[in-house]
Amino acid sequence: MSKIYLQITKCVVADNGSISTTGEPFQVMMNPDTISCSREISYPQQQVVGQSQPTKKFCRVSENNFSFKIVLDATGVVPGTYDSVADQIRKLTTLIAEYQGDKHSPNVVRVAWGESFKCNAVATKYDVSFTLFAPDGTPLRAVVDLSFSKYITAKQASTEAGRSSPDMTHYIEVKAGETLPMLCERIYGSSQFYLDIAKINHLTTFRNIKAGTKLLFPPLV
């Protein structure tokens, strides 16, 4: 069984939001030792009048971020490596970090390592450290520290963001057995807003709402 190497390939994002790869991938001949993944959960502080301590209100969960280090080598000890370190860095820079005038940003790329790790992403960090040189000063080995953030299209973001977010407007069709406090708990995380929602929807009572009734749940302010 042949060894599988990490590859970084340029992506094309179509107008309809579909993403495909194009061109030859940049193949890392020495796989990274580790890939670190992270997601940031944001709770901005809000100072409420009358409270001595600020409260925290959930804002968002960031997209997946991941990072790894790769080694570029031109000493001849790595099979399949024919380019100089400078040429390898030039190709990688063009692929992930060079400004593309037609897109007004660097390329979206697909980072893939076998079948278990595949992600469309944009580079957020690109540090190069030269660790070995020839007698004439030519770099023979470099360590590249790369960080990426998962890329999703505007259409994907609109779909995924949030059907359950309290910061979005919801139109809910009431099902049999559901109550207004129950729906407020589901959407806002608290049932205390049921009287406000009743007023917004011009309900004369919040009890025994007929199944099939469509209610508006606006964003929390």
| Interval 41-74: pLDDT, tens | 766 665 555 556 666 665 556 668 999 999 999 9
Query: Are 113 and 188 part of one and the same domain?
Result: no
CATH number for 17: 2.40.30
Amino acid code (one letter) for 208:
N
pLDDT band at 168; cut points 50, 70, 90: low
Asked whether residue 22 carries a pLDDT value surpassing 70, the answer given is yes
CATH number for 194: 3.10.350
Query: Are 111 and 40 part of one and the same domain?
Result: yes
Query: Are 62 and 132 part of one and the same domain?
Result: yes
Query: Are 175 and 102 part of one and the same domain?
Result: no
| Averaged pLDDT for residues 126-151 | 96
The Cβ of residue 30 has, within 10 Å, a number of other Cβ atoms equal to: 15
Domain that holds residue 209: 164-217
Query: Are 175 and 150 part of one and the same domain?
Result: no
Q: Among residues 110, 142, 159, which one ends one of the domains?
A: 159
| Averaged pLDDT for residues 193-202 | 87
Q: Cβ(146)–Cβ(70) under 8 Å?
A: yes
Query: Are 19 and 120 part of one and the same domain?
Result: yes
Closest CA to 193 of 160, 216, 171, 175: 216
**Predicted local distance difference test score (pLDDT) of residue 189:** 77
User: What token pair was written down for 134?
Assistant: 């020839």
Q: How far apart are CA 131 and CA 129, in angstroms?
A: 6
Is residue 2, in this structure, part of any structural domain at all? no
Q: What is the pTM of this model?
A: 0.66
**Predicted local distance difference test score (pLDDT) of residue 140:** 97
**Predicted local distance difference test score (pLDDT) of residue 172:** 84
Query: Are 95 and 180 part of one and the same domain?
Result: no
User: What total number of domains does the chain contain?
Assistant: 2
Is residue 133, in this structure, part of any structural domain at all? yes
| Averaged pLDDT for residues 104-128 | 92
Query: Are 13 and 40 part of one and the same domain?
Result: yes
Most confident of 62-66, 112-116, 141-145, 178-182: 141-145
User: What token pair was written down for 123?
Assistant: 């580079």
**Predicted local distance difference test score (pLDDT) of residue 165:** 56
Of the candidate ranges 10-14, 85-89, 114-118, the one whose mean pLDDT is the lowest:
114-118
Is residue 1, in this structure, part of any structural domain at all? no
